């Protein structure tokens, strides 16, 4: 509902979204004349008409000054009853502002929905990891938790930098966080992350030293294969939640158009895979990661472990690829499957 007077107050309050329009004909006419003058000067420049540079510059500056004066006068106009009753106020008589409200409102709604989805999946993943580590007495280091907090805060900031598109889509975004599409998406993503995290956790337990004094609930933190591998996988799943849940078109910019977020994600993926492959050991030391097992260590650990038959498939993969490559394979698998499943889900719900 758009209204400009006291008689519109009731309708503005009852409408889903009210927009108050402030009408000042004299000032608006001055503003339109200034804009038309600027457009004419710009068209003359493009057509390469012969004009004196000095006069052209003066004309352009005069129009800019007139436009600035008109906008200042509009900003100083007193608000009326309609502005008090409506959440939005437009200082133009045209109702084109309704398109801007719809575009930015949809972008905001989609952004908040994806933020809630990211928070939901990350909370479930963190609860899973902390519980599995606590069962064997392992812990995460202070630096590791700090790194995760900084990365998550930065990515949340980049998510909010996505801007709405100029074209209004005929499709409507999910109107509630508790709708079927959102709940199914959260459950499916957590299931994929659960499988990958539990797989790397089961493999890492083969390399735990049962006589390690830090493997007690109140023990000090000590880097080992279990907390290092699960930390890398946990951070990867956290980053994947941002990539997977970033909606993009037709409501906002795509991921590759959000330059800040795209570059931040690329850096995070590069650092994570570098840590998994131990390409630059100082980064691993900075994040309190222990050296990952080699192929020879894997054979020794597996052969000395009881009840090996339960993990025959995982053990055979480690023997063929090695622990580092197995970790990277699980990381790639988690990324690809979660991304494709989310896109299929969006297509299914339309």
Residue 244, pLDDT score: 93
Residue 265 has pLDDT above 80, yes or no: yes
How far apart CA 269 and CA 5 sit, in angstroms, is: 55
CA neighbor of 226 nearest in space, from 194, 203, 204, 206 = 204
Q: Which has the higher per-residue pLDDT, 80 or 326?
A: 326
Beta-bridged to residue 164, according to DSSP, are 252
Q: Are residues 208 and 273 in the same domain?
A: yes
CB 246 within 8 A of CB 253: no
Whole-number percent of the chain with pLDDT over 90: 26
Name the pTM for this structure: 0.76
CB 108 within 8 A of CB 220: no
Tokens of 155: 């990515």
Q: Are residues 136 and 262 in the same domain?
A: yes
Range of the domain at 131: 100-349
Q: Are residues 117 and 262 in the same domain?
A: yes
Examine the fold and report which residue of 81, 97, 113 is the final residue of a domain before the chain moves on: 97
Identify the helix (H) or strand (E) that includes residue 289: none
Q: Are residues 14 and 109 in the same domain?
A: no
Residue 302, pLDDT score: 45
pLDDT grade, residue 304 (50/70/90)?
A: very low
Q: Are residues 200 and 317 in the same domain?
A: yes
Phi, psi for 90 (deg, rounded to 5): -110, 135
Q: Are residues 274 and 187 in the same domain?
A: yes
Q: Are residues 47 and 156 in the same domain?
A: no
- pLDDT tens-place string over residues 139-196: 888 888 898 999 999 999 998 888 888 888 888 888 788 888 889 999 999 999 999 9
Residue 198 has pLDDT above 50, yes or no: yes
Examine the fold and report which residue of 97, 123, 157 is the final residue of a domain before the chain moves on: 97
Distance of CA 11 to CAs 16, 19, 341, Å? 10, 10, 44
- pLDDT tens-place string over residues 202-257: 888 888 777 777 777 777 788 888 889 999 999 999 999 999 999 888 888 888 88
**Size of the chain in residues:** 350
Residue 122, pLDDT score: 93
Report the number of distinct structural domains present in the chain.
2
In the numeric block, the tokens 């492959």 are attached to: 277
- pLDDT tens-place string over residues 12-57: 888 888 888 776 666 666 766 777 777 777 777 767 654 544 455 5
Please report the DSSP string for 109-162 in residue order. HHHHHHHHHHHHHHHHHHHHHHHHHHHHT----HHHHHHHHHHHHHHHHHHTT-
- pLDDT tens-place string over residues 82-106: 777 778 877 766 777 888 888 888 8
Q: Are residues 205 and 326 in the same domain?
A: yes
pLDDT grade, residue 303 (50/70/90)?
A: very low
Q: Are residues 90 and 119 in the same domain?
A: no
Residue 185, pLDDT score: 92
H helices present in the chain, as ranges: 9-14, 25-46, 53-75, 81-85, 97-136, 142-159, 180-204, 225-245, 259-277, 281-286, 295-303, 312-321, 323-349
Burial track 296-314 (b if 16+ CB lie within 10 A, e otherwise): ebbeebbeeeeeeeebeeb
Examine the fold and report which residue of 97, 131, 150 is the final residue of a domain before the chain moves on: 97
pLDDT grade, residue 307 (50/70/90)?
A: very low
């Amino acid at each position: 509902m758009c209204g400009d007077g006291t008689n519109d107050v009731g309708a503005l309050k009852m409408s889903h979204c009210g927009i108050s329009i402030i009408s000042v004909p004299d000032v608006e006419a001055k503003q339109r004349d200034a804009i038309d003058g600027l457009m004419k000067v710009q068209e003359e420049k493009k057509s390469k008409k012969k004009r004196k540079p000095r006069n052209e510059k003066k004309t352009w500056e005069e129009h800019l000054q007139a436009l600035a004066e008109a906008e200042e006068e509009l900003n100083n106009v007193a608000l009326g009853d309609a502005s008090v009753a409506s959440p939005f106020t437009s200082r133009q008589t045209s109702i084109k502002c309704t398109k801007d409200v719809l575009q930015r409102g949809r972008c905001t709604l989609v952004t908040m929905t994806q933020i809630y989805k990211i928070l939901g999946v990350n909370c479930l993943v963190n609860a899973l990891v902390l519980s599995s580590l606590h069962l064997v007495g392992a812990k995460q280091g202070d630096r590791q938790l700090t790194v995760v907090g900084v990365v998550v805060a930065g990515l949340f900031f980049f998510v909010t930098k996505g801007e709405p598109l100029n074209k209004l889509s005929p499709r409507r975004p999910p109107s509630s966080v508790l709708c079927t599409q959102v709940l199914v998406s959260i459950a499916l993503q957590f299931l994929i992350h659960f499988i990958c995290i539990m797989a790397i956790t089961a493999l890492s337990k083969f390399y735990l030293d049962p006589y390690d004094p830090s493997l007690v609930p109140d023990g000090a933190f000590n880097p080992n294969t279990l907390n290092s591998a699960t930390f890398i996988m946990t951070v990867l799943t956290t980053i994947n939640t941002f990539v997977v849940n970033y909606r993009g078109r037709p409501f906002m910019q795509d991921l590759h158009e959000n330059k800040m977020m795209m570059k931040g994600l690329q850096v995070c993926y590069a650092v994570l895979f570098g840590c998994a492959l131990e390409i630059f050991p100082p980064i691993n030391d900075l994040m309190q990661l222990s050296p990952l097992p080699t192929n020879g260590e894997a054979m020794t650990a597996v052969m000395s472990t009881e009840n090996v038959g339960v993990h025959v498939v995982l053990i055979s993969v480690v023997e063929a690829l090695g622990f580092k490559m197995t970790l990277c394979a699980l990381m790639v698998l988690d990324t690809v499957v979660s991304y494709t499943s989310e896109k299929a889900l969006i297509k299914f719900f339309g």
